[in-house]
Structure 1
Amino acid sequence: MHRTIEYKLNRLARGERPRLLDLFSGCGGLTLGFQLAGCDIVGGVEFDEHASRSHALNFHPHLSPELLEAHARPKDITVTKSHELLASFGIKKPVDAVDLLVGGPPCPAFTRVGRAKLREVHEHPEAFRHDPRAKLYLPYLEYVKELMPVALLMENVPDILNFGGHNLAEEVCEILEGLGYRCRYTLVNAANHGVPQMRERFILVGIHEAAGAYYSFPAPTRKVVFPSGYQGSRDVALKHVVLGDLFAPKTRYVPVLESKRKGRPPVSVQEAIEDLPPITSHLDGTLRRGARRFNEAVTYRTDVSPSAYARLMRSWPGFEGDGQLWDHVIRSLSDRDYRLFRAMKWGDDYPKAYALAERLFAQRLASEKRAGRRLLPGTPDYDELRSDYVPPYDPGKFPNKWRKMAPDEPARTLMAHLGKDSYSHIHYDDEQARVLSVREAARLQSFPDGFKFSGTMNPAFRQIGNAVPPLLAHALAEPLLTALGIGANESRRTQDVPKVQVSAAG
């Protein structure tokens, strides 16, 4: 047995808490879920300045200023060696310091949307193959080789299984097996595990063979009826997964686990955010363009009883909210958008919004004509009025650009560009007629109210959209710690919502 692995297994057998390092950590979605399951956090590696600082401030708030700054500094994993990193954290024997390694290498080159962007930028049909971000799983594997964790978890988008016609997951598994790890991978959806968001992800778990353990992916705790597009995307991603038989090589893929027929319904958008205070400042013209800083606090609604999910977000162990919400802010949009948001129906997408805008514009033209003012196409007055009513995007090219969320369903996948274009998640409340706030987006990702995001609104939206939902991370962490024989932390449960102590009023 490898000496490092033997030392770590003996340590865990004595009941000591597993120590976790998060690569490509972002602000800490994976970290937060594993921490709740009972892990101590060694640190994170993150290139984004604000995300790296968020990770440090949330998971290492009590360190000395020098060590806190070492954690907060952005880090480029392609040039930061594992031993140098851990030494900067004040760890004297890095090789023995990490029991669990987790992380999700950046995924733009793996996604179909990302590939299209790269083709456009580089004017090359296979530019995604040459994007350096497509190879960031290699430094991850180098960290595994150098630190020899007992177990590891890798997260990514489903299209990593169909990267230019190649199943990259099998290649990663082959390398890990050469290092002594037993690997399995599958696709999971966050909504199946109590997250109010339909977010499909690739998950790979490896456990060193010396542990004598095998990982079992958690069964869904919620029964979710997904839109047809989700199944179609899953089918495309799985196109190059070959199931083992007499004539084909064995795969490490585990078929997607289905939820029980009579499982609990998913957590809805309304359950997730209804207790947060309404935002109406944009309706009276007081909301100005510019950076949104988190320097004004609001409090929870008193006329709405928080759901079980909302109570968890208020009472997450170690991240309990104090009733003050500093990041419940939205971006400024046009009167045209607010008018459309109010008139749209739940579930309406951009083509429907565009058709609605055309009807409203026609009604305004008719009103102008009745008032004796005839506006002709091609004239400046006509064009100006049209721009006040009809958005400029081609409805044939941007079907998913806008969507008004349904209150009784989970949200669709949150994206990293929410700060620049949050029309994909329009609030269901006609009276508010707006897009999501930062705190509402955090709720839909299952970040607790006591979790703080570094920077202003746009960086915070980016951090949230790039994150792994902490509740999904927790659901994945529990069976991993169980497989390793690690005693259950009292906050760990098999249900998707961990046990927390909350009062009747939340």
Structure 2
Amino acid sequence: MLNIIDLFSGAGGLTEGFRSPDFNIIAHVEMDSAASQTLELRDIYYYLKKSGNINLYLDFMHNNLSFTELKKSVQSELTSSVINEAIGAITLPEIMSQIDQKLAGRKVHGVIGGPPCQAYSTVGRKRNESKKATDERIYLYKYYINFLEKYQPDFFLFENVRGLLSFKDINNELLFNKILNDFQSMTPSYIVKWKLLNASDYGVPQSRRRLFLFGYREGLKSIELFEHLQTQQAPSIRELFRDLPTIAAGETANYYNTQSPSEYVKQYLRSENVPLTWNVSRPNNPRDLEIYKIAAKLRQKGKILSYPDLPVSLRTQHPEGFTDRFKAIPFDGISQTVVAHIAKDGHYYIHPDARQNRSITVREAARIQTFPDDFVFMRSRTDAFKQIGNAVPPHLAKQFGQIIAQQKKKFID
């Protein structure tokens, strides 16, 4: 079994790929309290599933048991793997001390995770130019390196936005080149491979391009990750949503409809006897709903709404810079990238069925990100959307975990 440290965990999308008998997740480190509770809940789910007490988790999903009561029903050590702290110069010693206690002398085989990506994003880059001198997020990767230097794992997996490839630091130099150099010149030194992946090529129903760096300790036998990834046809949104109920804006409908789920949903997302949760849609004002209907009808014709083409009575912003402010998801294709902004509004994620006339629900967003239906997000609707938008799609993460597990002899021999 390979021991893993999970940094900048979020709700645990990447973590899902390493939740198997081949791995032991020693610690998750996450600054957001709602995401940390989601990680605790997921730890509990896997523990109860393994011990044959899954009915306790189902009671929680049916709202017959509170989160506090559920936590009391399991060993306290189980959820102590979650360290709810922001990683920084002040907190680093205490975080590492807690990890040392959890390790109890055991070796760390791998470190996974990636620091918050907003600082590197191409969206709003010009606006954020003046903040480079004070934006600490830019250099959070250095703390990642601190963990590598201390624990000297056999491998690491680092994820971030593709904007990192073109991002320039305060000295107007490409930061990515410096990151690669830092990874390769530390002690121990790592052989680092990187690749820009589109999750849609690997069975995820959205166009989502993200940068992945995979490093393994110099001196080990060659470890391959990207070379073993298997392409897979992603399902259409129509297939993905087939068994979900028809609802209107502002409604909640936590039940499946009578249609049989698609093969993809049956195989990867839906479990028998698990209730539907988080199928909650946002309420919207009448103006937005008129726009949503126009956007969805255009999408059905293969067209995308351009904001300046809306009737003047429906516009609230100057058209310049807002040409694709409202965008429906295609029924017979894959979604555009789901990002954390969905926590603020659903204008860019309008449901393709104009009759429903709404943005997508939390559960629909989770499915687009390939979170299984038994995955419950803690706290508010806004928290849930944020956790989903920031995550690595679990379907892709599972491929990473499986490929690394197949080569685990290279780590433990």
TM-score w.r.t. the length of structure 2 is 0.83
Q: Quick one: which amino acid aligns to residue 195 of structure 2? A: T
Matches within 5 A, 1:85-100: 85-87=98-100, 90-93=102-105, 96-100=106-110
Deviation at 1:297, TM superposition (A): 6.3
The Cα offsets for residues 28-84 of structure 1, whole Å up to 9 and x where unpaired, read as 011001225832222211111111111121024558564355345521211133531
1:334/1:218 CA distance change after superposition, 3 Å: farther
Answering whether residue 193 of structure 2 is matched by residue 184 of structure 1, we say: yes
What SS is found at the alignment partner of 2:120?
A: coil
Tell me by how many angstroms 1:307 deviates. Answer: 1.3
> Structure 2 unaligned runs (5+)?
48-70
Residues 292 and 354, structure 2, Cα contact 8 Å, conserved in 1:
yes
| Superposed CA offset, 1:152-175 (max 9, x none) | 010001111122154433323323
Checking the alignment, whether the CA contact within 8 Å between 2:27 and 2:82 is kept in structure 1 is: no
Report whether the alignment pairs 1:267 with 2:271.
no
Q: Which amino acid aligns with 1:149?
A: P
Query: How far 1:271 sits from its partner (Å)?
Result: 1.8
Aligned residues: 373
Q: SS of the counterpart of 1:130?
A: coil
Residues in 2 aligned to 1:457 and 1:144: alpha-carbon distance in whole angstroms: 35
Per the alignment, in what secondary structure is the counterpart of residue 163 of structure 2? helix
Pairing 1:311–2:266 present = yes
Q: Does 1:80 align with 2:92?
A: yes
Distance in 2, matches of 1:216 and 1:206, equals 10
Q: What residue number does 2:148 align with?
A: 144
Equivalent residue of 1:188, what SS? strand
Hey, what's the Cα distance between the residues in 2 that align with 1:265 and 1:395? 37
Question: Structure 1: how far apart are the matches of 2:159 and 2:21?
Answer: 18
Deviation (angstroms), 1:349: 4.1
1:155 corresponds, among 137, 156, 159, to 159
Judging changes above 3 Å, is the alpha-carbon distance between structure 1 residues 137 and 110 closer, same or farther for their aligned structure 2 residues? Answer: same
Residue 406 of structure 2: SS of its match in structure 1?
helix
Give the whole-Å Cα distance in 1 for the aligned partners of 2:375 and 2:184: 37
CA distance in 1, matches of 2:378, 2:262: 28
1:28–1:114 CA distance, 2 compared to 1 (3 A): farther
**Contact 1:157–1:202 at 8 Å: present in 2 too?**
yes
Query: For 1:480 and 1:167, how far apart are their aligned partners in 2?
Result: 30
* 1:108-257 alignment runs, 5 A limit: 108-119=118-129, 124=130, 127-164=131-168, 166-178=173-185, 179-218=188-227, 221-222=230-231
Query: Is 1:342 aligned to residue 305 of structure 2?
Result: no
Structure 2 CA distance for partners of 1:91 and 1:38, relative to 1, 3 Å? closer
Q: Distance in 1 between matches of 2:292 and 2:21?
A: 40
Q: Distance in 2 between matches of 1:470 and 1:267?
A: 15
Relative distance call for 1:73 and 1:485 in structure 2 (3 A) is closer
Structure 1 Cα separation of the partners of residues 356 and 157 of structure 2: 40
Q: How far apart, CA to CA, are the structure 1 residues paired with 2:347 and 2:410?
A: 44
| C-alpha distance in 2 between matches for 1:92 and 1:460 | 34
Structure 1, 476-485 or 107-116: larger mean CA deviation: 476-485
Q: SS where residue 331 of structure 2 aligns? A: coil
CA distance in 1, matches of 2:274, 2:405: 33
Distance 2:358 2:98 in 1: 43
Q: Does residue 1:431 correspond to 2:399, yes or no?
A: no
Structure 1 partner of 2:309: 355
Structure 1 Cα separation of the partners of residues 386 and 159 of structure 2: 18
Give 3-state SS (helix, strand or coil) of 2:211's partner.
Answer: strand
Q: What is the aligned-residue RMSD (CA, Å)? A: 2.5
In the TM superposition, residue 181 of structure 1 has moved relative to its aligned partner by 1.4
Contact 1:101-1:149 within 8 A present in 2 as well: yes
1:210 aligned counterpart, secondary structure = coil
Determine if the alignment matches structure 1 residue 300 to structure 2 residue 256.
yes
Aligned partners of 1:68, 1:463: CA distance in 2, in Å?
Answer: 22
User: Could you tell me which residue of structure 2 aligns to residue 326 of structure 1?
Assistant: 277
Q: Contact 1:403/1:425 (CA < 8 Å) preserved in 2?
A: yes
Partner of 1:414: 338
The answer (yes or no) to whether the contact 2:220–2:410 under 8 Å persists in 1 is no
Q: Distance in 2 between matches of 1:99 and 1:60?
A: 23
Contact 2:17/2:402 (8 A) holds in 1: no
| Structure 1 residue 334: Cα displacement | 1.3
Asked if 2 retains the 8 angstrom alpha-carbon contact of 1:321 and 1:450, the reply is no
% identical equivalent positions: 31
Distance 2:44 2:189 in 1: 32
Are residues 329 and 114 of structure 1, via their aligned partners in 2, closer, same or farther at CA, if it must alter by over 3 Å? same
